[in-house]
Amino acid sequence: MIRVSASLLFGLLLATSCSTPHGSSTVRFNEQDLANLVVRYYTDGTSYVLKPTQRDGPFLSILKQDAVLDVAKRQPGRQLAVVILIHNPAPAEAARVQTKWRNLLTDAGYQRVVFLRAMGGMQVDGLPVLASGG
């Protein structure tokens, strides 16, 4: 009886350990210093530009899409733009937002646009990469 129980327990442990990922396959962003533009996107009417910092006194300025694009177009370097998505929209909505911002920023001259999933805090490096490309 003990042998049977031990065999079942060993089999169960083996089965669950094989189905558990042994490492995270999530790619993390680590190019904050290289980014020419960093945007925290909430909606088309509410975004914050973290780099270059856009402030209204001590607070980050709330910018609409057109104002974000004005800031983006004023940047002398346009190698890398980062868009941090704050909320978790449905997959179709997330794809639409990414396509729209990729098109707007590449039309503004950016060579590469990276989309990140927001986590707690305002850090950029270490966030999970959702999509990256030109």
Backbone phi, then psi, for 76, in 5-degree steps?
Answer: -70, -35
List CB contacts of 94: < 8 A, sequence separation 6 or more: 85, 88, 130
Angle between helices 91-107 and 65-74 (to 10 degrees): 40
**pLDDT tens digit sequence for 12-63:** 333 333 333 344 578 999 999 999 999 999 999 999 999 999 999 999 999 9
**pLDDT tens digit sequence for 112-127:** 999 999 988 888 999 9
